[in-house]
Amino acid sequence: MSTEHGARGPNELRLALRAGVISIVASAAITLVKFLAWSLTGSTAVLSDAAESLVNVAAASMATWSVVVAARPADADHPYGHGKAESISAAVEGLMIAGAASLIFVVAVRALVVGPVIVRLDYGIVLSAATAGANLVLGLYLVRIGRRAGSAAIEADGQHVMTDVITTAGTIVALVAVKLTELAWIDPLVALAVAVNIVRIGWRIVRRALGGLLDEADFELLEQLSAALERNRQPEWVGIHELRSWFSGSFRHFDLHLSVPRYLSVEQAHRIGDKLESTILEQVGGGGDVVVHLDPCESRQCGSCTLEDCPVRASPLREPFRFGVEAMTRKGLV
């Protein structure tokens, strides 16, 4: 038996799409300002910052595309929907960040070898500070909307923009240090340090995206589900095993085996399963489906069954079945 309720609704989709368009336009404008700052100063750090922002534009475009694709309903070719498009987008975005970091390394090392020449530091500091403020506002907005709309791609785009704030902060530090000390080699050295941080954050985004593509279990959600089942325990829920859960974009899938009293009719067993499904979907709080396989209980489960006045009980209750993650995800009966 299976129960499903809708994936991302029209309001959430509109929110995500609007955020994607805003990200594209804002990132393009910010990138142009950074390249202007580089043309005025000749700073390696500023050039690296501009290159990283150029990736933001491509990433924002890809994130918006993935939101549109992920919103498509399930079909014969994609029975679980198209939600993984968002994980693919986030993975590519993380790789783009790594590519930007590689470019920064190359440019910075070259500047250290050849010797940097930096001019008009005041212009660079002011313009960089302005872009940092704009990116901070944009990044916070995208992360908030991504979580609200259940969009992994928009949230990842926001996290990417937030890394740009760190990059720009490093650029400002480099320009101020060069202005105060007149040591031009500080500029490419700071660019190298910023590149290391970009790689770290890019890997975090890729790691999360790969978790979605490889159907990695969400143990935080499973723990919340465990607590919800304990709170809403029904005597006829003799036990749960072989629970599996994975996500596709904002859509959550659950598959499990529920043991019910073996003397019940098929209709009675299905009503019990329906109650379990509704409890799980309420806990998910968004789009999802639940597949429950109904199994007749076995005599060895009597010791953990809380059903009173059971006509087929073979042994008394010793310890109630606990809806813990380890017990519910175990293969076979506990």
Using the Cα atoms of residue 271, residue 273, residue 274 and residue 279 in order, give the sign of their dihedral.
positive
- pLDDT at residue 1 in the model: 56
Q: Summarize pLDDT for 102-138 with one digit per residue, the tens.
A: 888 888 888 888 877 788 899 999 999 999 999 999 9
- Give me the half-sphere count of Cα atoms (radius 13 Å) on the Cβ side of residue 13: 16
Residue extents of the structural domains in the chain: 2-213, 219-329
Which CATH code is given to the segment(s) 219-329? 3.30.70.1350
pLDDT one-digit tens code per residue, 203-226: 777 777 666 666 566 777 788 888
Give me the count of residues in the chain: 334
The answer to whether 323 touches 222, Cβ cutoff 8 Å, is: no
Task: Give 2-213's CATH code, choosing from 3.40.50.150, 1.20.1510.10, 3.40.50.11720, 1.10.10.10.
Answer: 1.20.1510.10
Q: Hey, what are 142's tokens?
A: 């995208």
Tell me the pTM.
Answer: 0.59
Beta bridge partners of 2: 291
Mean pLDDT, range 29-37, rounded to an integer: 94
